Amino acid sequence: PPFPIPLSGPVQHGFGRGGKDLGCPTANLPDESLLHMSEITQTGVYYGYARVYPPEGADKPLSEQDAKVLPMVMSLGWNPFYKNERLTAEVHIMHDFASDFYGYYLKALVLGYIRPELDYISREALIVDIEMDKRVALNSVTRPAYEKFQDDPFFQS
Ligand code: ADP
Ligand code: MG
């Protein structure tokens, strides 16, 4: 696939299904933001960088830490709510944010593929894989060939 792939849009509410209980909240992007991904029908887990931007007329600005370009893992899957006819992208940013950022603008630069989607027999098995994905993503984006994408013009605006 033609990496890097840019995605962006306002963060939407998901189904609230356990992201936070799993220690892995995932910011949902709207369908329209996935047009660039349309050539990519390979579902699964991807890695890259992401940045959160305050929405127009926000009353509270983001802290310096929360406003950085940060490593992320993203899951791309078919949305069961739309009879599996639409893709859904959920982005977990590897950073401890001061608060939720629903409605904020999110930009993500997808840099590579980690693994296909799997079905899990247990919550524990899922958590083990999520932790592994985070390590793989961090290791990947901090390699010199990828670090430069942190300063990509895509994130300057
Ligand atoms: P939902 O089903 O609404 O997506 P989640 O449990 O997946 O619920 O939580 C996602 C929300 O958590 C995001 O929209 C964002 O506002 C917030 N959040 C806080 N920290 C993070 C993070 N590190 N990565 C992604 N989202 C985060
Ligand atoms: Mg989510």
* pLDDT tens track, the chain, 157 positions: 689 999 999 999 987 776 787 788 999 998 778 766 666 668 899 999 999 999 888 888 899 999 999 999 999 888 777 777 778 889 999 999 999 999 999 999 999 999 998 877 887 888 888 899 999 999 999 999 999 999 999 999 7
Q: Tell me the CATH number at 116.
A: 2.40.30.30
Output the CA 93–ligand 2 centroid distance in Å.
Answer: 11
Count structural domains, the chain.
1
For residue 81, which ligand has an atom nearest its CA? 1
Domain containing 114 equals 5-60+67-155
Spell out which residues line ligand 1, taking CB within 6 angstroms. 11, 13-17, 19-20, 25-28, 92-93, 95, 97, 100-102
Active site residue 64: no
The contacts of residue 62 (CB under 8 Å, 6+ apart) are 52, 53, 54, 101, 104
Output the CA 130–ligand 1 centroid distance in Å.
Answer: 15
Which atom, in ligand 1's list, is nearest to the CA of 90?
A: 4
pLDDT at residue 38, as a whole number? 62
Please state, as a whole number, how many other Cβ atoms lie within 10 Å of the Cβ of residue 33: 19
